[in-house]
Amino acid sequence: MPASTITVYLYVPNIIGYVRVLMNIFAFAICFSDRKLFSLLYFISFVCDALDGWFARKFNQVSTFGAVLDMVTDRISTACLLVILSQVYRPGFVFMSLLALDIASHWLQMYSTFLVGKASHKDVKDSTSWLFRAYYRHRMFMGYCCVACEVLYITLFLLANNQTESLTEVLVGFTKQSLLNSIFLGFLLFGWGIKQSVNFIQMKTAADLCVLYDINKKQKD
């Protein structure tokens, strides 16, 4: 293996990515035996998602491998948590639908990005959707939506007492406990709602790019 290849694998942000993978493996292994530790490890791994990007820019260690590792780790982590929630709550179809939307939108976005020759899947300046552009242009806004989404899922996991919970009853019961709970849940749901809207827009936009690519290719032929 060339020394340059080994160097990329040993980039600081990529090492953080490996640690995230190991952390998530351990976290999901103990998710039902120690929910609090699982939630803590899962959230730390999520926070490290922001750190690896910061280190990549700081040390000029941005790489395609790192970007793919980062996204794959994010998607698998969220997918595993959504699968668990689908087994804990009823209707579980809600969480499986969210899982399908999350994977489909990001996979199509990554594929269409490379198809049209863009350097990053976050390059959406030519999008007609102001929400889509705002999401990827403003890191704080995107960070809030992502944090709200993940914290909401973690909160739901911590609130579940058994494997036959009604999602509606748990949410209503949580808000009735205090006004602070209602505000907290509203804050999370707002960010979560924006994130799901962006996922849908992203999926539709990426699908359109794939179709336009085929049309342009046929016209050239």
**Catalytic positions, written as ranges:** 74
Q: Who contacts 95 (Cβ-Cβ below 8 Å, separation ≥6)?
A: 82, 83, 85, 86, 89
